[in-house]
Structure 1
Amino acid sequence: MKIGQDMRPLVEKTKIEQRHVKEGKEDFQVLLRKENEKTHKERLKRLLFDIEKQGEKLARSQTIKELHQYKQLVERFVKEAVHFGMNLKHSSTFSHSGKMESHILVEKIDEELLNLATIVLDRNKQSIDLMGKIGEIKGLLINLYT
């Protein structure tokens, strides 16, 4: 009885099939990650569009309600970007003081939001200042996003 010769093709075939399954699994993981990134970027683009529209409303009406909605959208954008996107960007973007660059951007966005709130609350300021701050915040968000 020659068992060894009959079993060899089956063992080799099984090893080849296992290799294909592993390669397919990796391809699926790469594909899934790319789709997740694409979906997330689309969400960030949509949020950025919503922020822009809310900024226009805020510039027109200059009410606390519009400011609050604008701040909520900006905070949601920052959370989304930090939660997903910054994990990819944290590689080695350090500032001169040793802090991560993304943290500096988030702090700057918070600072500009406070400045914007001050402008809205101080009705004597020109709406040009308001539009300038909205533009600065949008620019910072774009820097955070890209």
Structure 2
Amino acid sequence: MKVNQDIKSTIDPTKVQAHQRKGSTTSFQQTVSSEKQKLQESQLQQLLKDLTAQGEKVARFRSFQDLAKYKRMVRQFMDEAVQNGLSLEQSRSWSMNGDNRNLTLIKQVDEHLIQLTDDLLDEQKSTIDILDVIGEIKGLLLNLQV
């Protein structure tokens, strides 16, 4: 039996291309997901920056229009944060009496928004008190983001 040296081993080119595509697809998907995450983080940072400016406007002018816009912006920030994969953490606490409480960050933000509304309605509250509540809301939102 004679072995022919003229026979070339053929490799199916579609298999080679499919293997190359698979490697490039993985890196492409990683690149897209990392860019998407960067975009979402920058969007949240911009929302937080706008929220801070609106909070200062609420404290300075004390108008209900500004307060309503501030509340909408807080709601928008929380929606964006939750939709972009930032999870809400729930915790349980026990009081001295043995009572069980479930705490969530969203509820705390809502309570502070209600307090801000009450402070704005109370003409005797100083701007510093209003800014204090706005600062607490911003801190809670930063905790949500991280």
Partner of 1:70: 70
Q: Which runs of 5+ in 2 are unaligned?
A: 94-101
Shift in alpha-carbon separation, 1:144–1:59, aligned structure 2, 3 A: same
RMSD: 2.2
Higher relative contact order (CA 8 A, sep 6+): 1
Contact 1:85–1:145 (8 Å) recurs in 2? no
Contact 2:90–2:104 (8 Å) recurs in 1? no
Partner of 1:28: 28
Q: Which runs of 5+ in 1 are unaligned?
A: none
TM-score w.r.t. length of structure 2: 0.81
Partner of 1:9: 10
Shift of residue 122, structure 1, vs aligned partner: 1.6
Partner of 2:145: 145
Write the deviation string for residues 44-93 of structure 1: whole angstroms up to 9, x where unpaired.
1111000110111111111111111111111111110010031xx46xx5
Write the deviation string for residues 4-35 of structure 1: whole angstroms up to 9, x where unpaired.
x65x5222x43232111111111111111111
Work out the percentage of aligned pairs sharing the same amino acid.
36
Q: How does 1:51-90 map to 2 (within 5 A)?
A: 51-86=51-86, 89=87
Distance (whole Å) between structure 1 residues aligned to residue 90 and residue 104 of structure 2 = 10
Distance (whole Å) between structure 2 residues aligned to residue 108 and residue 122 of structure 1 = 21
Match of 1:95 among 62, 73, 91: 91
Shift of residue 128, structure 1, vs aligned partner: 1.7
Distance (whole Å) between structure 1 residues aligned to residue 125 and residue 22 of structure 2 = 63
**Runs of 4 or more above 4 Å deviation:** none
Between structures 1 and 2, the one with greater strand share: 2
Between structures 1 and 2, the one with greater helix share: 1
Contact 2:59–2:127 (8 Å) recurs in 1? yes
Highest Rg: 1 or 2?
A: 2
Distance (whole Å) between structure 1 residues aligned to residue 90 and residue 22 of structure 2 = 37
